[in-house]
C-alpha cells in the first residue's frame, strides 16, 4: 500500500516539475520582449488555469493544463502575439470547462481579455437538429473576430494543438475533427497569411482522414530525399556564386512541398506521385532594406534567368500586387538540369516573415510596418457578410468559405481605383462590392467600355463601370450569377424580404379560396395542404399562392384526397428521431452493412460508389434512409464537418457473395488488340463481369471507362494491378462515381 502511495506522490511531483518546465518554456519562446507587468499578468493567468483544471486529464492521460500551455506557446512562438493573447490562450477553456464565469475573468483581467475569451468559448444551449452546432459555434466565433482578430488566431492555435494530439482520440472523433480542420480552419489560416500553420493543419487533416495515402506520400518523400538533395545542390551552385558576386546578403535552399499539396495535385491531375514535377521549390530570401526590396527581388530574378530558361506563363508577381492575405513574393518556374521544371520563389526577409507568420500577427499589436490596409479591408467585408445573423448557419458557413478564396483577380473602377475580387467574380459581384444598393439596382455593366450582362465573368485588369436603374430589383436567378459572400448574402436577404411581403398577399388569397371551398383556415388544414403539395413550410405555400404556382386545380385535388390524408408534415419523424433510430439499429455502435440488409433502409452513395473493404460511414438523410459514403468521398469532409450528429459509424460484413459496381479509368497507347487484351484480363483471368465498356482514341492514345462488378476492395485492387501490366496501358485508376 505504501509503495503505491509513494508511486502516486512521485508521479505527482514529476508532473508538477514538468508543468513548471513547460511554463518556463512558454516564457522563453515569446517572440517579443515582455516587461515585468506582462510577466506578472501571464503568471496570474497560469495560476488561475492551473487551479481551474486541477485534477482534470486529457484523453491521452496527461494533465489538462499541458493543453493551454501548449496553445499559449503556439500563440507566442509560432504566431508571434503578445501578452494579452498569451493570457487568453492560457484561460481559453476555463469558462467552458469549469465553474468560472466571464464576469470572474473580467474582474481579474479586464474587459478585453473577457471579450476574447467569450469569442473562444463554445456556444451552450439547445441543440438545433436542423442545423449544425459546429456551424453555430463558428459563426459566433467570427462575430467576435470582426471586432478582434486575436480570437481567430488563438482559436487556430487551439485547433493546431488538438490536431497534433489527435492520435489519442477514437476514430470517429478523429474523422470529425480532421474534416472540420480541412473544411474551415486550414482555409482560414491561409486567408490570414499563416502559411506554416495552414500547411501543418492540412497535412495533419490528411493524416487522419486518409492515413494510407498520407503515409504512402510521406514515405515516398523520404525515399527520394537523397536524390532530391543532390539535384537541389546542383541547381543552387551557380546561383549562389552569381549572387555572392553581386554582393547580395541572402539565404538559398530547397523546400519539399507539403504532403497535402502533393496529394491535391495528384488528385486534380489524376497522376501518380512520380509524375508530380514540382515536389520541391527553391527559395531565395534576401536581406535588404524595405525601400530596396522590390528592386533587389527583380535583380535576383534576372540572375536566375541568366542560368535557367523561364516558363513565361508561370511568372507570378505578388510584389507589385500582393495576395489578399498579404503574401508578397516573385514566383517563376524555370527549366533546370535534366529537363526538369523547377519553381523558384524570391522574397525579402520581411516578406518571408509575413509569409510564414501572417501579417495578422503584426496588425495593431506591433510597432513598425503593419499591413492593416489589406486586413482591415477583409475584416470590413467579413463584418458585412455576417451582419445578418438570422441566416441559416450552414448557408452562412458556405458563404463565408467563399471569402477564403485562394486566388484573386484585380479589377479597376472607371476612376482607376484597384479592387481585389475572387477568381470567377462577375459584373454583379463587382456591383455589390462597390455597395449593396448599387448591386440591388444593377442592370448591367460596361467592361473595358463594352456592354456586358450581369453574369459576365471578370478578368484581371478589367475596368468595370456599373449601370443601374431605380426600377430594378433582385431576381431569384441572380444567386447563380455571383460567387462572393457579400453578394450572395445581400441577394438572399433582399429575396427573403420580397418573399415575406408576397407571402402576406398569398395568405390573404388562400383565406378567400378556403372560404369559397368551405374549408377551415386553421393550422391543421394548412399543414395537411403543404404536406400534400410536398412543400417545406407555410411560408412557401403562401408565396406560391401569391405568384400563381398554386391554383384551383391543386386545391380541388387536395379536397378530393383530404379524407385519405392521415398524416401531416407535423407528424413525420424529426431528424433527431431518424438519427436515434439509425443508431439504435447499429450493432456495437457500428452499422453493419451486408448483415440483415432487409431490416435497414440504406443506399450506397453514387458520389463515391463504396464497395466492401472501403473505409465507410453512414449519413442519415430525411427522405432516403441512410446513405453509405466512403471516408475519402469528395463530399465526406463537408458532411463530417457540418453534420457530425447525422454520422453513423459503419463497417462491412466479411461475406463475399454480393457483387458491387465499380468504375475503372484506363489511359494508354492505342495498339492493335489492346481492347481484346484488357477484356481478356477482366473476364477470363479474373472472372469479373462487366456492365459497360467505352473506349475513345485520339491521335495514337486511348482512354477507356469500364464498369465492373467486384466483391470488395481486395478484388478490385487485384484487377487494377493486372490491368497495369497489360502492354500499352500507361495509367489505371478507380473512378469515384458511377457513370
Question: Is 97 tagged catalytic?
Answer: yes
Nearest-angstrom CA–CA distance, 722 and 716: 10
- Strand pairing class (647-652; 616-620): antiparallel
CB atoms within 10 A of CB 726: 16
**Using CA atoms, how far apart are residues 523 and 529, in angstroms rounded to an integer?**
10
User: Which stretches does DSSP call E strand in 538-643?
Assistant: 591-593, 602-604, 616-620, 626-630
Residues 194 and 152: beta-carbon distance below 8 Å = no
- Nearest in space to 617 (alpha carbons), one of 643, 596, 598, 656: 643
CA separation for the pair 581, 626 (Å, rounded): 11
315: closest CA among 278, 343, 355, 282? 343
Q: Is 286 helix (H, G, I), strand (E, B) or coil?
A: strand
Q: What nine digits make up the cell of 490?
A: 445581400
DSSP 685-734: IS-PEEEEEEEEEETTEEEEEEEEEESSHHHHHHHHHHHHTSTTEEEEEE
How far apart are the C-alpha atoms of 688 and 679, rounded to whole Å? 10
Distance, in Å, from the CA atom of 601 to the CA atom of 621, rounded to the nearest integer, reads 11
Distance CA 401, CA 187 (A): 8
Buried b (16+ CB within 10 A) or exposed e, 124-141: eeeeeeebbbbbbbbbbb
Q: Which of 12, 96, 306, 377 is catalytic?
A: 96
Question: How far is 357 from 323, CA to CA, in rounded Å?
Answer: 15
Whether residue 106 lies in the annotated active site:
no
Active-site hit among 15, 38, 62, 97: 97
DSSP secondary structure letter of residue 385: H
Query: 27: which residues sit within 8 A by CB, 6+ positions away?
Result: 34, 39, 42
Paired with 336 in beta bridges are: 340
The DSSP secondary-structure symbol of 15 reads H
Catalytic residues: 96-97
Amino acid at each position: 500500500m505504501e509503495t503505491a502511495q509513494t508511486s502516486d506522490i512521485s508521479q505527482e511531483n514529476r508532473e508538477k516539475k514538468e508543468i513548471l518546465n513547460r511554463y518556463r518554456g512558454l516564457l522563453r519562446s515569446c517572440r517579443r520582449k515582455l516587461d515585468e507587468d506582462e510577466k506578472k499578468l501571464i503568471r496570474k493567468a497560469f495560476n488561475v488555469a492551473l487551479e481551474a483544471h486541477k485534477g482534470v486529464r486529457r484523453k491521452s492521460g496527461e494533465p489538462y493544463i499541458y493543453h493551454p500551455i501548449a496553445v499559449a506557446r503556439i500563440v507566442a512562438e509560432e504566431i508571434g502575439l503578445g501578452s494579452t493573447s498569451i493570457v487568453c490562450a492560457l484561460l481559453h477553456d476555463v469558462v467552458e470547462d469549469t465553474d468560472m464565469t466571464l464576469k470572474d475573468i473580467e474582474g481579474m483581467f479586464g474587459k478585453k481579455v473577457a471579450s476574447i475569451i467569450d469569442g473562444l468559448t463554445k456556444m451552450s444551449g439547445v441543440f438545433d437538429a436542423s442545423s449544425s452546432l459546429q456551424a453555430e459555434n463558428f459563426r459566433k466565433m467570427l462575430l467576435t473576430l470582426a471586432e478582434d482578430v486575436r480570437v481567430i488566431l488563438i482559436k487556430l492555435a487551439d485547433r493546431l494543438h488538438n490536431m497534433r494530439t489527435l492520435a489519442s482520440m477514437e476514430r470517429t472523433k478523429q474523422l470529425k475533427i480532421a474534416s472540420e480542420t480541412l473544411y474551415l480552419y486550414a482555409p482560414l489560416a491561409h486567408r490570414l497569411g499563416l502559411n506554416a500553420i495552414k500547411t501543418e493543419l492540412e497535412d495533419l487533416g490528411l493524416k487522419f482522414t486518409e492515413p494510407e495515402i498520407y503515409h504512402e506520400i510521406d514515405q515516398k518523400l523520404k525515399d527520394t530525399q537523397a536524390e532530391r538533395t543532390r539535384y537541389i545542390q546542383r541547381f543552387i551552385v551557380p546561383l549562389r556564386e552569381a549572387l555572392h558576386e553581386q554582393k547580395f546578403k541572402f539565404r538559398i535552399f530547397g523546400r519539399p512541398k507539403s504532403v497535402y499539396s502533393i496529394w491535391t495535385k495528384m488528385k486534380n491531375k489524376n497522376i501518380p506521385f512520380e509524375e508530380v514535377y514540382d515536389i520541391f521549390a527553391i527559395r531565395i530570401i534576401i536581406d535588404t532594406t524595405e525601400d530596396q526590396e522590390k528592386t533587389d527581388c527583380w535583380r535576383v530574378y534576372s540572375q536566375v534567368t541568366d542560368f535557367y530558361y523561364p516558363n513565361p506563363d508561370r511568372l507570378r508577381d505578388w510584389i507589385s500586387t500582393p495576395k489578399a492575405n498579404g503574401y508578397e513574393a516573385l514566383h517563376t518556374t524555370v527549366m533546370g538540369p535534366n529537363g526538369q521544371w523547377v519553381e523558384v520563389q524570391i522574397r525579402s526577409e520581411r516578406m518571408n516573415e509575413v509569409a510564414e507568420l501572417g501579417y495578422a500577427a503584426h496588425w495593431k499589436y506591433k510597432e513598425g510596418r503593419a499591413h492593416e490596409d489589406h486586413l482591415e479591408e477583409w475584416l470590413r467585408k467579413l463584418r458585412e457578410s455576417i451582419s445578418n445573423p438570422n441566416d441559416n448557419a450552414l448557408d452562412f458557413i458556405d458563404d463565408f468559405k467563399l471569402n477564403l478564396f485562394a486566388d484573386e483577380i484585380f479589377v479597376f473602377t472607371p476612376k482607376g481605383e484597384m479592387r481585389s475580387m475572387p477568381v470567377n467574380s462577375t459584373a454583379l459581384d463587382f456591383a455589390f462590392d462597390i455597395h449593396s444598393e448599387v448591386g440591388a439596382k444593377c442592370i448591367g455593366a460596361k467592361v473595358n467600355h463594352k456592354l456586358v450582362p450581369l453574369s459576365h465573368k471578370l478578368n484581371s485588369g478589367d475596368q468595370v463601370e456599373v449601370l443601374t436603374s431605380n426600377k430594378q430589383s433582385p431576381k431569384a436567378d441572380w444567386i447563380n450569377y455571383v460567387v462572393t459572400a457579400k453578394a450572395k448574402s445581400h441577394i438572399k436577404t433582399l429575396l427573403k424580404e420580397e418573399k415575406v411581403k408576397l407571402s402576406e398577399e398569398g395568405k390573404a388569397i388562400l383565406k378567400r379560396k378556403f372560404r369559397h371551398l368551405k374549408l377551415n383556415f386553421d393550422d391543421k388544414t394548412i399543414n395537411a395542404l403543404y404536406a400534400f403539395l410536398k412543400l417545406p413550410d407555410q411560408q412557401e405555400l403562401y408565396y406560391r399562392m401569391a405568384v400563381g404556382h398554386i391554383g384551383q386545380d391543386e386545391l380541388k385535388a387536395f379536397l378530393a384526397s383530404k379524407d385519405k390524408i392521415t398524416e401531416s408534415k407535423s407528424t413525420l419523424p424529426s431528424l433527431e428521431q431518424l438519427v436515434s433510430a439509425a443508431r439504435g439499429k447499429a450493432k456495437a455502435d457500428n452499422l453493419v452493412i451486408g448483415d440483415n440488409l432487409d431490416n435497414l433502409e440504406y443506399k450506397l452513395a453514387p458520389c463515391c460508389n463504396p464497395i466492401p473493404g472501403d473505409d465507410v460511414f453512414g449519413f442519415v438523410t430525411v427522405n432516403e434512409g441512410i446513405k453509405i459514403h466512403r471516408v475519402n468521398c469528395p463530399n465526406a469532409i463537408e458532411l463530417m464537418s457540418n453534420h457530425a450528429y447525422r454520422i453513423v459509424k459503419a463497417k462491412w460484413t466479411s461475406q463475399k457473395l454480393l457483387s458491387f459496381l465499380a468504375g475503372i479509368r484506363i489511359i494508354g497507347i492505342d495498339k492493335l488488340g489492346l481492347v481484346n487484351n484488357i477484356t481478356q484480363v477482366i473476364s477470363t483471368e479474373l472472372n469479373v463481369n462487366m456492365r459497360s465498356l467505352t473506349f475513345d482514341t485520339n491521335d495514337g492514345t486511348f482512354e477507356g471507362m469500364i464498369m465492373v462488378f467486384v466483391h470488395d476492395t481486395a478484388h478490385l485492387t487485384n484487377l487494377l494491378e493486372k490491368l497495369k501490366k497489360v502492354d500499352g496501358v500507361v495509367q489505371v485508376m478507380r473512378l469515384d462515381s458511377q457513370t
